[in-house]
Structure 1
Amino acid sequence: MNIDFTGRKVLITGSTSGIGFAAAQGFLAAGADVVINGRKDERVSLAMERLGAGSRVFGFAGDLGTADDCDRLIDEHPAFDIVINNIGIYGLQDFFETPDSEWDRFFQTNVMSGVRVSRAYAPGMAERGWGRIVFVSSESALNIPHDMIHYGFTKTSQLSISRGLAKRLAGTGVTVNSVLPGPTLSEGVSQMLQSEVERTGESLEAVAKSFIKSHRSSSIIQRASSVEEVANMILYISSNQASATTGAALRVDGGVVETIA
C-alpha cells in the first residue's frame, strides 16, 4: 500500500510533541504540506526545526481552546484538505474536587477546539468533493477512568461529534472518524513515569509495562503503544485508501477495552 499525500494540506492541532508530532512526521514523509500547532512560539519553532521539511511545514502558535485563536488560525489558513483534531489536556482529579472551571477548561480544549475547526473547514472540503477529519479521542471515551471523569466525558463527546458530523457530510467525499489510543508512551506519560524510573533504575519501557499490568490489566499487548503506532492509524484513515471508512471509532488501544466490536 502506497499512501501518498502529495498536494494535500494538513492541519494537526497540538502537534509540537507526542502523537501529533509523530503524525506530522508521517504526513510530511508522505508528501503533504503540514501546519503544526502549539500554544507557544518557542515550542512551535523547535518542532519545525526538528521536522526539517523546509517549505512544506508551517507553524501556528495559539491556544485553539479559545475562539479568538481559532478565528486567527482560520484567517491565516482558509482551507485544509485534512484536519487532525489532536489537541488535548488531561490530569487526575477526583470528581468531588473538580470545579466548574476545570470542566469548562477541559471542554473548551478537548471538544470545542475540534468543533470550531471542523465547522470552519468541512464546508470547503465538501465543495471540493474530498476531505478528511479525524478526532484523536481515547480509550477513556469507552472505559471512563474513575479518577478523570471530566477527561473521559470530553473524549466520549468527541465520538458523538465525529459520528454525527460524518452523517451530516454523507455523500460529500469527506470522511470523519475518531482514533482511540490506549496507554501511549508520549512525552507526557514519560514524564509521569520518570520518578518511578529513577526510583527503580529500570528502563522507561519496563516501567511503562509494569504500569500497564497494574492499571490496564486488560491490555492484550501488555505494553504501552508508541506514538508512531497511533500515528500510523491516523495516516491510514486520512488516506485515499480509507475512503469507505467514515463515522467509525478506531481503537489503537492494545486491546484494553473489553469488547469484540
Structure 2
Amino acid sequence: MDLNLSGRRALVTGSTGGIGYAIARELADLGASVGINGRGTDRVEAAMARLRGEAKGGDVFAAAGDVATAEGVDDLVARLPEIDILVNNTGIFEPKPFFEIPDADWQRFFEVNVMSGVRLSRAYTPGMVERGWGRVVFISSESALNIPVEMIHYGMTKTAQLSVARGLAETVAGTGVTVNSVLPGPTLSEGVAEFMKQMAGGAEDADLHAMGRQFVAEHRPTSLIRRLASVEEVAAMVAYVCSPAASATSGAALRVDGGLLRHIA
C-alpha cells in the first residue's frame, strides 16, 4: 500500500490544534511538507514547534491567515501559490436554539465553514489539475446527515460541504485529482475536552473518557463504538484519502462516526 507523500506539499486549515493538528501530524508522518494554518502567528508558531517534536518525517511551515474571509484567502494564496493537498478543516460550532439564531450567525457560519473551503479549492485545484495529481478533502461531520436540532445552522454548513465536494469531484473527473469529504462523529478534541472539564466544575483530573461514554450513551445512542473517537482516528482516515493508495476514491463521503449513522451506504 503506497502511503508515501514525500515531495508533496499540503495545507491543513485550522491546524493549530484538535483534529486539524492531528491531520497535519499524520501527513507529515507520511513525508509531506505541511502548512500549519491559524489566524494568529503565535499559535501557528507554537503548533509548528510542537509538531516538529512529534512528527516522524516530513516538514512543517507557517501558513497563518484568516481563511474565513476572502481577503485572508487571497493573502494566503499569494504567499503560498501552489500545493498538492488541501484539507479544508477550518470550522466553528455553537449550540443555539433555531428561533434564537439571527441572520448574522447564519452568514458567519456559512462564511467560515463553507466559503473558506470554496475559495481555497477554487484557488488551488486548477494547479493540481494542471500537474495531474492532487487531493482536496473537506472535513464535514455526521451532523451533515444527522442534523443536530441544537445547532441547525452548523448542520446546514456541514451538508453544504458535501454538496460542494461532490460537485467539485465531478468537475475534475479523470484528471488525477480526487475530492472527498470525511465525516467525523463525536470526537475528543481539545475543545471538547475543555468543554467537558468545565462541565465537571473545572476539574483537571476529570475522567474525560468516562464522560465521553456517558455523553454518547445519552445523546448519540446509536453509536456502535459507544465512545468518543480520538483525533488520531479521524486523522488516519484523512491521511489515507490524501495518499496515493486512495487514487480510486473520489466524490465520497467517508464516515468516521463510530457507526452512529444508521445508514448502510
**Superposition TM-score, scaled by structure 2 size:** 0.95
Structure 1 range deviating more: 196-205 or 177-186: 196-205
Residue 55 of structure 1 and its aligned partner are, at CA, apart by 8.4
Describe the shift of the 1:55–1:106 C-alpha distance in structure 2 as closer, same or farther (beyond 3 A): same
Unaligned runs of 5+ in 1: none
Any residues of structure 2 matched to 1:198-213 within 5 Å, and which?
Answer: 198=201, 202-213=206-217
Corresponding residue for residue 79 of structure 2: 76
Structure 1 range deviating more: 55-64 or 108-117: 55-64
Kindly provide the CA deviation profile for residues 22-78 of structure 1, in whole angstroms up to 9, marking residues without a partner as x.
011111111110101011111111101101169821112221000001000110011
1:121 aligns with 2:127: no
1:184 aligns with 2:169: no
Matched letter for residue 145 of structure 2? L
Q: Which of 129, 134, 140 is 1:137 aligned to?
A: 140
- Partner secondary structure for residue 11 of structure 1: strand
Residue 258 of structure 1 and its aligned partner are, at CA, apart by 1.1
- Partner secondary structure for residue 38 of structure 1: coil
Kindly provide the CA deviation profile for residues 107-147 of structure 1, in whole angstroms up to 9, marking residues without a partner as x.
00000000000000000000011100000000000000001
Describe the shift of the 1:221–1:7 C-alpha distance in structure 2 as closer, same or farther (beyond 3 A): same
Percent identity of equivalent pairs: 58
- Partner secondary structure for residue 148 of structure 1: helix
1-side partners of 2:250 and 2:100: how far apart?
38
CA contact (8 A) 1:27 1:34 kept: yes
2-side partners of 1:224 and 1:94: how far apart?
24
Corresponding residue for residue 247 of structure 1: 251
1:31 aligns with 2:34: no
Matched letter for residue 164 of structure 1? G
CA contact (8 A) 2:97 2:151 kept: yes
Matched letter for residue 125 of structure 1? M
CA contact (8 A) 1:197 1:203 kept: no
Corresponding residue for residue 232 of structure 2: 228
Corresponding residue for residue 260 of structure 1: 264
Residue 17 of structure 1 and its aligned partner are, at CA, apart by 0.3
Structure 1 range deviating more: 187-196 or 147-156: 187-196
2-side partners of 1:154 and 1:160: how far apart?
10
**Superposition TM-score, scaled by structure 1 size:** 0.97
CA contact (8 A) 2:226 2:258 kept: yes
CA contact (8 A) 1:12 1:85 kept: yes
CA contact (8 A) 1:163 1:248 kept: yes
CA contact (8 A) 1:197 1:207 kept: no
2-side partners of 1:260 and 1:97: how far apart?
35
Unaligned runs of 5+ in 2: none
* CA RMSD in angstroms, aligned pairs only: 1.5
1-side partners of 2:257 and 2:34: how far apart?
26
1-side partners of 2:163 and 2:3: how far apart?
28
- Partner secondary structure for residue 62 of structure 1: coil
Any residues of structure 2 matched to 1:5-20 within 5 Å, and which?
Answer: 5-20=5-20
Kindly provide the CA deviation profile for residues 67-92 of structure 1, in whole angstroms up to 9, marking residues without a partner as x.
00100011001111000000000010
- Partner secondary structure for residue 45 of structure 1: helix
Matched residue count: 261
